[in-house]
Structure 1
Amino acid sequence: MKRRSLLGAALLPAFAHAQAQPRIVSVGGAVTETVFALGAQGQLVGVDTTSLFPVDATRLPQVGYARTLSAEGVLALKPQLLLASGEAGPPLVLTQLKGAGLRVEVMDDQHRFDGVLARTQRIGELCGREREAAQLGDRLQQAWATRPKPPAGSAPRVLFVLAHAAGQLRVAGEGTGAHAMLTLAGARNAFAGVQGYKPLTAESALQAAPDIILCTDQGLAAQGGADGLLKAPGLALTPAGRARRVVGMEALLLLGFGPRLPQAVAELTRQLHGHAA
């Protein structure tokens, strides 16, 4: 009897370790990127289609697009935890997953550096990687403190165009990740004063009068490059269009607000102010 008790006591730490490192389905590119940055990728049993970085994430089983999940697809992977960005849904599916006994943790989508730190800490706690999360947080803060600052007196007007689908171009106003990134990079959003994303029109493009047009690399590819993008209503007639000042950045890096945020802001700052100069 005593021997059995000792065996049970010996198994407890292993059981606790397994419980602290659950099988995870990750939904949202920045969430998945954070899991990898914490060294917890071995716990991942599935990801969504927005999980594009690092490239190893794309080799994992997929559960579909973040906004159109199916309960059956997630549960088929037998996860113990769903880590999701704020855009994950639909809400009914999340409710079904909870009803099936799956732990669902939705991360706040905050377009701030402090939000990245908070999400890193929370994911570290949920993955059983608290120490790694603290170390990653320290590295992020160091990178943030030493990122290049915008040149004094330089604040180019930038129009961000979301162009992933032909004929469905939208421009970013306030309250968007694009607006937050432009602010962090020391630029002015040419569409400030408008909330959210709005359809691009020739009139709005001409009124915005941007010095630079910003797009994702994926959006530029979908439009056939800068030449194709500048065929959109009004863009060729703006100061940016006439000077062919079009900047592209990888979508998840630019808009993900993941662990690469200091790198993203540094790169965007260099590109925007380099073009402005």
Structure 2
Amino acid sequence: MSKSFDFRRARPWEVALTVFALSAPLLAPFAAPGTDSFVSRAVAQEMQKIDTSRLVAIGGAVTEIVYALGEEGRLVARDSTSTFPEAANALPDVGYMRALSPEGVIAMNPTAILSIEGAGPPDALAVLKSAGIPFETVPEGYDRAAILRKIAVVGDVLGVPEKAKALEDQVAADLDAAIADAAKRPEAERKRVLFILSFQNGKIMAAGGHTAADGIIGLAGAINATEGAFEGYKPLSDEAIVKAKPDVIMVMSRPGSDAGDEELLAHPAISVTPAAANKAVLRMNSLHLLGFGPRTASAIRDLNGELYGKGHVSQ
């Protein structure tokens, strides 16, 4: 004879499974064969919900969206790329999103982790997932659709789809206006921008296609100087730099950690480009420019203004 089921000693998932099994016969009359009834959908959604009352956010865009939705009260920690809004800096920092320490995250006693796609390293993610902490991933992307998808995913995980839809509509309208304005720039007037991720010992790591830098440059009405040459971030040879013919060199503003403008422009290959002739070096805030979150429309306008001036584009 089997032992009776003791709810007091059962684990949460065992209780949920038992309750579902006992209630299934009662729910069956509401679901016609071959249909997805309201009741069955509601049960499925209820079972898939996770506790987000103590949330660790990984990725600047993810954290921005949580704040933009007005759900920041759930946050107990964030990663080092999550520096906007200013209030986020008061949260405990669990480290850089691509070099997470699982012990530091677990120490926050989170009920869930909400992370942008691409966080790591893989070993750290494996430890976090094996710890039994729900780990939800927000798809990365570098265009209008990707930004709206991030908002929708965060809203679904937090259980506030209505708020997310309202934010989506607001962000979409702002993006459409900024993109349309930048697109007025005639092709012949568009500047070629070389985005340099790092400059060390004379070696230049630059942005190719399918990168955040490539995405924002295009949206702002300019041309990635390495267009079509490669994807991702790769070292550039001197020949490749000369061939790219950049009008502008763009780098991220990281005080004290990068080469100065003079050192950049004195590089043998850069020195013979139009960018060097015009001393055109542009430094921008990385999270604002490359985050592809709710503020991207502002980033598009800022970059367009820096490249072409604050006046109206040619008609």
- Could you list the structure 1 runs, at least 4 aligned residues long, displaced by more than 4 angstroms after superposition: 18-21, 164-168
Structure 1, unaligned runs of 5 or more? 1-17
Q: How far does residue 164 in structure 1 lie from its aligned partner after superposition?
A: 7.2
Identity across matched positions, percent: 38
Q: Which residue of 2 aligns with 1:126?
A: 157
Find the aligned partners of 1:273 and 1:80 in 2 and give their Cα distance.
Answer: 47
1:261 equivalent to 2:293? Answer no
Superposed displacement of residue 127, structure 1: 1.7
Task: Tell me the alpha carbon deviations over residues 40-62 of structure 1, each in whole angstroms, 9 at most, x when there is no partner.
Answer: 11111111111121122122111
Task: Please tell me whether residue 63 in structure 1 is matched to residue 94 in structure 2.
Answer: yes
Q: How does 1:172-187 map to 2 (within 5 A)?
A: 172-187=207-222
Q: Which residue of 1 aligns with 2:272?
A: 237
| Residue matched to 2:116 | 85
Tell me how far apart the structure 2 counterparts of residues 245 and 55 of structure 1 sit (CA, whole Å).
Answer: 30
What's the RMSD between the two structures over aligned residues?
Answer: 2.4
The one of 233, 238, 249 equivalent to 1:213 is 249
Could you say if the C-alpha distance between residues 21 and 195 of structure 1 is closer, same or farther in structure 2, counting changes exceeding 3 Å? closer
The answer for unaligned runs of 5 or more in structure 2 is 1-48
Q: Residue 52 of structure 2 contacts residue 111 of structure 2 at CA under 8 Å; is this kept in 1?
A: no
Of 156, 166, 172, 1:135 maps to 166
For the residue of structure 1 that corresponds to 2:98, the secondary structure is helix
Distance in 2, matches of 1:250 and 1:112, equals: 18
AA aligned opposite 1:247: L
Shift of 1:263: 1.0
- Post-superposition Cα deviations, 1:33-90, rounded to whole Å, max 9, x if no partner, equal 1111111111111111111211221221111111121221111111111111112112
One-letter amino acid matched to 2:182: K
Structure of greater Rg: 2
Measure the CA separation in 2 of the matches of 1:240 and 1:164: 16
TM-score (norm 1): 0.86
1:35 maps onto 2:66 in alignment: yes
Q: How big is the shift at 1:188?
A: 1.5
Contact kept? 1:201, 1:233, Cα under 8 Å: no
CA distance in 2, matches of 1:274, 1:98: 48
Tell me which residue corresponds to 2:43: none
Deviation at 1:165, TM superposition (A): 6.1
More off after superposition, 21-30 vs 124-133: 124-133
Structure 2 equivalent of residue 196 of structure 1: 232
Q: Measured at CA, do residues 190 and 231 of structure 1 come closer, stay the same or move farther in structure 2, by a change above 3 Å?
A: same
Partner AA of 1:141 in structure 2: A
Give 2:281's aligned residue. Answer: 246
Contact 1:166 1:223 in 2 (8 A): no
Q: When the two structures are aligned, how many residues end up with a matched partner?
A: 260
Amino acid at match of 1:149: A
Distance 1:185 1:225, change over 3 A: same
How far apart, in 2, do the equivalents of 1:164 and 1:30 lie?
26
Higher RCO structure (Cα 8 Å, ≥6 apart): 1
- Corresponding residue SS for 2:109: coil
Distance 1:127 1:93, change over 3 A: same
**CA apart distance, 1:264:** 0.9
Counterpart residue number, 1:152: 186
- What is the match of residue 14 of structure 2? none
